[in-house]
Structure 1
Amino acid sequence: MLHKLRISNRFTAKIILVLLLVIIIPTLFTSLSFYWLSDSILKKNARESTIQIAKQTAESLSFILDVGVDTSDFIASDMNIQRAAMELGNSPSYEESWNFQYINTLLNNYVYSNSFVKIVYLLKEEGRGWGSGTFSDQKLKEIQLSDQNWVKEAKRKDGELVWQGLQYDHLSGGGVNTDLVLPVARVLKDFNTMRNIGLVQINLDGQSVVGTIRQLQLGKTGKFFVVDSGGRIMIDSNPDMINKKVENPDLYERIVGDNAVEFEFHMGGVPYYGVKQLLSNGWMIVGTVPVAEISGPLERLQTWILLSSAAFSLVAIGIGLFIARWVTQPVKQLTQSMLSVQNGDLRVRADVRTSDEIGFLSKQFNKMIHKIEQLMRQVEDEQSEKYHAELRAVMHRIHPHFLYNTLSTLRWLIDSKQNDRASEVLSALNHLLEANMGKSGSRITVEEELDIIRKYLIILELRYEKIFQLDLDVEPGTEKVIIPRMLLQPLVENAIFHGIVPKNTDGRISIRIRKYDKYLEFLVEDDGLGIGEDKLKVLNNLETAVENGEIGIGLRHIYDTLRLYYAQNWNCSITSTPGQGTTVRILLKVLSEISSKN
């Protein structure tokens, strides 16, 4: 059954495999081609889109920064502002009052005229100055301007702009940390003498700057930030990061030491994609995002391709199973019929349901089995006839031999004028023939075989004028066992002719019968002359002895009988001691334990 199933499964698997290949190969080819093409297009578009966003953001931030630069230039070049800065503390109070109102109005106009300018300060190092909006003169007096880093840097640069990171305004009187600003400062010079006469600080609107980078969407977790030329973060949506150096060394190297607009780096073992663009003030806007986030659409496409391929594969398997069942069902039925024939059932026939090649094969199989069945019957009939012919030949061979020996005895008695004894022999022969004639078939019981031996011994005793004692040791129940006719008689005859008579004395013959499970053992023992060692070796190999013609009719009859009736289920052995006698042992499988005979 398992062998049949394996054959069927292999055939079914081949059909399913073919269908899978037909469906999956084009699907995979199309899917992979589409995947590779879309991967290239999506990556290119994602990179170009990210670079474009970075450029637009850089332009927006540069515009805001340029507003601060322009405002600083306007203020620094205003002669009235220069004069007011020089006269502060050196002119009468009414002039200072007029200058104060004028400067405050001017500074507020700059703020109101541009939405990106949050606060403008005009300061003196000694702690005096002007400011737009809620400028607090008191807070200015609380700090020492000359100690401020940005003041030192502005003086060092001597008129060039000094940019500071995003921070809260420290001079506003509206409260603490209320105005988020991006300061740009410079020293104010007297154009006539080019000496420093004050400081100008333009505070750009920090919320507008942060809003510009916050509104950008770079994946789910990506972000933009601004760094200076040294890699310090100047603008970031997280205030805690301001004025700190970029921590990731790989990213820092890509920002500071690489001029490429786009780059890749690793952070915490995760691959990142980055872009950067230069701003108008020399700073750089940097955008970073995990590579997986910009390739998200590609991953969804890949998932869709895999799912569709799996769906097509399942469809192919389903179709394959259906077709395989439709195609292999007749093959299975034919295979089952073949296995039944293999097990010996020649009555089975294949069911012919179709007219295709498989149907034709089933039809021819039925014809073949029918022909084999006829040939088997013919062979069985021939073997049966041959078997019975051999049995008849065996019986016909032993019966004439038996009669010849008996008639020879009669002739000898008549020639020797022993008519009375000849009459007794003839009477015993008559009784023996009557017993045999009343039995039909080639098999008799053990009891009947022993009766034939008794009658035959009477004839031999009359011929040789000797007493042949017959000792029987028969296990109860074995006397009804069926055995072939004339199985033991030739052994008794050989014991007398070749063992006891040459001694010219009376003799004893012992027959012992025992049953072991399904086997029956016969021991026929005499006290005759025995058999020589060389002859004994020949007799213990009956098959070879028969082929070489080295045994007489009696043992040949026993060998043929055992071979024909018991096939390989028998054993015959002979033991002998010269001068003491011979023992023949026959072990055979019981044919039948019923007394009825064919």
Structure 2
Amino acid sequence: MVRKLQISGSFSSKIILAFLFVILLPTLFTSVSFYWESNSVLKKNVRESTVQITKQTAESLSFILNVGVDTSDFISNNLQIQQAVLHPKNVPAYEENSDDQYIDTLLNNFVFSNSFVKIVYVLKENGSGWSSGAFSNNKMKKIRLSDQEWVKETKRRDGELVWQPIQYDHFSGLVLPVGRVLKDFDTMRNIGLVQVDLDGRSVFKTIGQLKLGKTGKFFVVDSEGKIMIDSNLEMVNKRVDNSELYKHIVGNDAMEFEYEVNGVPYYGVKEPLSNGWMIVGTVPVHEISGQLNSLKSWILFSCAVFSMLAICIGLFIAGWVTKPVKQLTRSMMLVQKGDLKVRTTVQSSDEIGFLSKQFNKMVHEIGHLMRQVKNEQSEKHHAELRAVIHRVHPHFLYNTLSTLRWLIDSNQNDRASSVLTALNHLLEANMAKNGNMITVSEELDIIKKYLVILELRYEKTFDLKLDVEPGLEKIVIPRMLLQPVVENAIFHGIVPTNQDGRISIRVHSCNGDLEFHVYDNGMGIDEERLKQLNEPEAAIAAGEIGIGLRHIYDTLRLYYAGNWEWSVESKPGQGTAIHIVLKQLAKSVS
């Protein structure tokens, strides 16, 4: 499918995107709107339900706690119990038995009449006392009450209720204790202790009936964030370990809150109890909104199905619409590669058929124009070449005729005759029927004839050394490519030294390139002039280069476009070397 999309090109992609947009946009908008609305309603309903359940559970727990409070209040305010606790030890046995019987009956009535009360203790300062159910003073005396933390706390509170966390009692099992000191109302001194142990299993049952998702739970904390009731007894009497949850419980009045545990978002709710404690419920957020996961999956599935449907419809229509367009595009690419004979065969009466006809007509006209432009450029090119040749020829003849005039004025008729003979041979070589192109060997032969004229003129010897790699002497090059170089070497390099000179021409190939190296032992070139010669285009624009070297530059530019190099190396007093490279010329010949 991806390959087909790539072949279809931009137009097909736009059609497919259009179908995706038309089909998916309403679907996505409706689905997302439905999802968010459902999400909002569901979360709202779940949270309202959770808060309501928490309030009901808080009321149930508060009722159980109030039973303990009422029982403790009744016992601590009972005058007969106070008298029994205050009874001296030397009282008659029948009176002591009467008090014991009354208190035992009263305490047992509390337990039997209320399922939430597990056991009730009334204890004296010496550790003896009374209790509902089976009670043994001997066992109780083994426990040092003064060492018990809850006893210390009740005495510190001086009559206030002291709630302890849920725990296992030595005599009655799992209980939730609440205690206070028993006071003498006449003197307000402490005379004993009252402790009511509420049934811990009833408390757990009340909390256990609540469900928050799969792993959520309820627990009870005091005002300082210490856990007082938890299904995991190992957590009881410990502070809430999650700092974020602790802050929400202790330092935040909001009944609902959210926090994180190891990167997992949790939802929390809390409700105060009648004794100052607080019931707290926590659950991972994803569990209370789990119903939304199936809805989200269904939305994603439906979007994927509609996407595939849109792509298939788009591919079908794109293929049907773009088939003639692709044919026209292929023809255009062939034209781009230079094939002007290609023609399209789209036969339709719509805009694409009209475009095909206009394309064929355009290609025909482009072919005609290109042939016309090619002919005009060819004529212009040859005209430029003729202008270059005609420009250097008068320069060459001027120098030679100047030499003849000087010889005639000096009455050196024999030498003048020799110059004319050499000029005749030179003109004969230049007027050959090969046109503007000659072989390397022919160019070097012309240079030899020209040196004869120059030696006669200056009465000096110019030694010419040739080093031509075998096979390169037959390579065709433009006429008078090297002769101006030799002429400049003599006029500007050797003659000013007023001595005989030496010129070396080396022709060789390197990596398929044809290279010419022309050396002279003349006076050399200064640095500023050398920089000008190595930048011929700028030097020509500034009029700082002579006719001979400009002829070479124009010849290289017109014949070889960018496939050439030219460099000049020289130091004052150490001669000059000119390097010309014709790229890939030797390889094409070989």
TM-score range relative to shorter protein = 0.5 to 0.7
Q: Which residue of 2 aligns with 1:252?
A: 246
- 8 Å CA contact 2:167–2:174 kept in 1: the answer is yes
Among 325, 336, 340, which residue is 1:331 paired with? 325
Q: Does 2:14 correspond to 1:20? A: no
- 8 Å CA contact 1:139–1:171 kept in 2: the answer is no
Q: Does 2:527 correspond to 1:533? A: no
- 8 Å CA contact 2:258–2:268 kept in 1: the answer is yes
Secondary structure at the residue paired with 2:276? Answer: coil
Secondary structure at the residue paired with 2:270? Answer: strand
Identical-residue share of aligned pairs (%): 62
- In 2, the alpha carbon distance for the partners of 1:100 and 1:21 equals 89
Superposition pairs for residues 276-287 of structure 1, below 5 Å? 276-287=270-281
TM-score (norm 2): 0.58
Secondary structure at the residue paired with 1:197? Answer: strand
Among 225, 236, 255, which residue is 1:231 paired with? 225
- In 1, the alpha carbon distance for the partners of 2:477 and 2:189 equals 144
Letter in 2 for 1:134: A
Gaps of 5+ in 1: 173-178, 381-528, 545-569, 576-598
Q: Which residue of 1 aligns with 2:191?
A: 197
Q: Which residue of 2 aligns with 1:112?
A: 112
CA-to-partner distance for each residue in 1:193-218, whole Å, 9 max, x for gaps?
Answer: 43333221111110111222222222
Number of matched pairs: 391
- In 2, the alpha carbon distance for the partners of 1:337 and 1:253 equals 75
Q: Does 2:273 correspond to 1:291? A: no
Q: Which residue of 2 aligns with 1:147?
A: 147
- 8 Å CA contact 2:436–2:479 kept in 1: the answer is no
- 8 Å CA contact 1:186–1:199 kept in 2: the answer is yes
Q: Which residue of 1 aligns with 2:170?
A: 170
Moved more, 275-284 or 147-156: 147-156
State the shift of 1:534 in Å.
3.6
- 8 Å CA contact 1:539–1:574 kept in 2: the answer is no
State the shift of 1:310 in Å.
2.3
Q: Which residue of 1 aligns with 2:387?
A: none
From the superposition, tell whether residues 73 and 542 of structure 1 become closer, same or farther in structure 2 (CA, over 3 Å): same
- In 2, the alpha carbon distance for the partners of 1:20 and 1:151 equals 76
From the superposition, tell whether residues 339 and 279 of structure 1 become closer, same or farther in structure 2 (CA, over 3 Å): closer
Letter in 1 for 2:314: G
State the shift of 1:60 in Å.
1.5
Q: Which residue of 2 aligns with 1:91?
A: 91
CA-to-partner distance for each residue in 1:288-319, whole Å, 9 max, x for gaps?
Answer: 23334344344544443333222222221111
Among 411, 416, 435, which residue is 1:542 paired with? 435
Superposition pairs for residues 7-406 of structure 1, below 5 Å? 8-87=8-87, 89-172=89-172, 179-335=173-329, 350=345, 352=347, 356-358=350-352, 364=357
What's the C-alpha RMSD, in Å, of the aligned pairs? 3.9
Secondary structure at the residue paired with 2:281? Answer: strand
- In 2, the alpha carbon distance for the partners of 1:536 and 1:32 equals 93
- 8 Å CA contact 2:68–2:117 kept in 1: the answer is yes
State the shift of 1:180 in Å.
0.7
From the superposition, tell whether residues 50 and 542 of structure 1 become closer, same or farther in structure 2 (CA, over 3 Å): same
- 8 Å CA contact 1:261–1:275 kept in 2: the answer is yes
- In 1, the alpha carbon distance for the partners of 2:151 and 2:339 equals 113
- 8 Å CA contact 2:5–2:13 kept in 1: the answer is no
State the shift of 1:229 in Å.
1.6
- In 2, the alpha carbon distance for the partners of 1:572 and 1:75 equals 132
- In 2, the alpha carbon distance for the partners of 1:9 and 1:331 equals 10
- In 2, the alpha carbon distance for the partners of 1:347 and 1:156 equals 109
Q: Which residue of 1 aligns with 2:417?
A: none
State the shift of 1:238 in Å.
0.6
- 8 Å CA contact 1:140–1:171 kept in 2: the answer is no
Secondary structure at the residue paired with 1:194? Answer: coil
CA-to-partner distance for each residue in 1:175-199, whole Å, 9 max, x for gaps?
Answer: xxxx210001112233344333322
Letter in 2 for 1:141: K
- In 1, the alpha carbon distance for the partners of 2:97 and 2:367 equals 140
- Choose 1 or 2 for highest CA Rg: 1
State the shift of 1:18 in Å.
1.1
Secondary structure at the residue paired with 1:325? Answer: helix
TM-score (norm 1): 0.57
State the shift of 1:112 in Å.
1.5
CA-to-partner distance for each residue in 1:310-369, whole Å, 9 max, x for gaps?
Answer: 2222221111111112222343345556677888696977364x654445656x479969
CA-to-partner distance for each residue in 1:67-93, whole Å, 9 max, x for gaps?
Answer: 111111222223332333333744322
- 8 Å CA contact 1:154–1:161 kept in 2: the answer is yes
- In 1, the alpha carbon distance for the partners of 2:318 and 2:210 equals 58
- In 2, the alpha carbon distance for the partners of 1:344 and 1:82 equals 122
- 8 Å CA contact 1:341–1:348 kept in 2: the answer is no
CA-to-partner distance for each residue in 1:522-581, whole Å, 9 max, x for gaps?
Answer: xxxxxxx9964345435466379xxxxxxxxxxxxxxxxxxxxxxxxx989999xxxxxx
Gaps of 5+ in 2: 372-421, 438-474, 481-590
Moved more, 113-122 or 184-193: 184-193
Letter in 1 for 2:278: M
From the superposition, tell whether residues 40 and 70 of structure 1 become closer, same or farther in structure 2 (CA, over 3 Å): same
- In 2, the alpha carbon distance for the partners of 1:198 and 1:376 equals 123
